[in-house]
Amino acid sequence: MPDRLFLSPPHMGPNEQLYVDEVFRSNWIAPIGPFVDRFEDDLAALTGMNAMVALSSGTAALHLALRLSGLRPGDEVWGSTMTFIGGVAPILYEQARPVFLDVDAKTLLLDLDLLEEHLAQRAGSRDALPKVVISTDLYGSAIDATRMRALADRFGFLWISDSAESVGSHWNGQHAGYGADFLILSFNGNKIITTSGGGALGCADPAKAAEARFLATQARDPAPHYEHTTFGYNYRLSNVCAAIGVAQLEVLEARVEARRAINAAYRRALGDRPGFFLHNEPETGRANRWLTTIEIDPIKAGIAAEAIRLALEAKNIESRPVWKPMHLQPVFASASAIGGDCAARAFARGLCLPSGSAMTQDDVARVLAVIDRLSR
């Protein structure tokens, strides 16, 4: 059996190990330290956000963003139905109520026409407008930030950009989520760059970043003993992980290039095949192409996505259905949804192909050979 080809394995550069050695030499084995500071500075430079806070995960970053949004139990948080559970579970931590909106079929990003239409309806009715809207930069594509910012200003919500999958992606020359009130990044093991586990919260308001740091370190009031006027969390990133992150940021651009090249190779081979569709890069955007996703129309292609997944698995190649929409998840059976058919169809037909930045041309050919055998 050939080696397993993973969907998106970690890909270390030349300096990760060196920086971790430096951490050991200096004995900064702690959830703070010089590499955490450097990682935060580098992330602020990358994203253009006023302040970045390095955290233990992207989910923790979203939780803090929601807590800092001043939600009260029962308040609505609107967001895309097509996402990973870590991009919505914190809504439940804060006892808010999620409302799931459909995505654009071509990009799998939150459908902004649908969002605008329903915000406008609410503005003209007695129902309250949502306090928070989360846009999800799915699979590496960044949403139209100009339009999101304008909607946030017009309808008075806080905009959280969940760009966990879009580190290094751009829209109109700016980093994904630029202009949001809060930006969520993830450095989990399968993301485009990784700290093993980790995340970051970007804040437009530096005072919010200071609050996030306070809450992420157990909300300790200034006193020689432990004094608490509120409760927090243990969410800070370790200096060891931050050292890996600093080195990973040095190679981010190369990782984006590699994943874009893999996407282009899949597109050349499959793009014109009847019944096959590869999701578009948003206009004026530069997607990091974290994962290449395809949709297969079983009638036109003569083969279903699941059959392809199983055939790849038989050759020791990992692929995966696209995210199952949240409005179809048992845990959200009683949540509200606005539309959802595009997301449901994408789930029924979609597949994520191996997209790791260390993949060779032979690896891509290995994937394509399996698909070729099935769909010719």
Ligand X SMILES: *Cc1c(COP(=O)(O)O)cnc(C)c1O
* Binding interface with ligand X (CB under 6 A): 57-59, 83-84, 86-87, 136, 162, 164-165, 186, 188, 199
CB of 10 or CB of 86, closer to ligand X: 86
CB of 364 to ligand X, least distance (A): 23
138 vs 304 by CB, closer to ligand X:
138
Closer to ligand X at the Cβ: 165 or 366? Answer: 165
Helix (H) or strand (E) holding 89: helix 89-93
CB contact at 8 A, 25 and 252: no
What minimum distance in Å lies between the beta carbon of 99 and ligand X?
Answer: 17
Q: Which is nearer to ligand X, 276 or 332 (CB)?
A: 332
Task: Tell me how far, at minimum, the Cβ of 222 lies from ligand X, in Å.
Answer: 30
Nearer to ligand X, 160 or 359 (CB): 160
Q: Is the Cβ–Cβ distance between 275 and 300 less than 8 Å?
A: yes
Q: How far is the CB of 145 from ligand X (least distance, A)?
A: 17
* Nearest to ligand X of 86, 130 (CB atom): 86
Rounded to a whole number of angstroms, the CA Rg of the chain reads 21
Q: Which of 16, 186, 231 shows the shortest CA–CA distance to 84?
A: 186
Which residues, 6 or more positions from 41, have their beta carbon under 8 angstroms from its beta carbon? 52
- Give me the helix-helix angle, 206-216 and 58-68, nearest 10°: 120
Contacts of 336 (CB under 8 A, 6+ apart): 76, 97, 98, 99, 100
Neighbours of 229 (CB within 10 A): 7
Of 80 and 263, nearer to ligand X (C-beta) is: 80
Of 237, 221, 181, whose CA–CA distance to 23 is shortest? 237
List the beta bridge partners of residue 292.
353
Q: Tokens in use for 350?
A: 């979609």
The pair of three-digit structure tokens given for residue 298, joined into one six-digit string: 């079983």
Q: Least distance from C-beta 22 to ligand X, angstroms? A: 24
Residue 35 contacts residue 169 (beta carbons within 8 Å): no
d(CA 264, CA 277) in angstroms, rounded, equals 13
**Least gap, CB of 60 to ligand X (angstroms):** 7
Q: Minimum Å distance from CB 221 to ligand X? A: 28
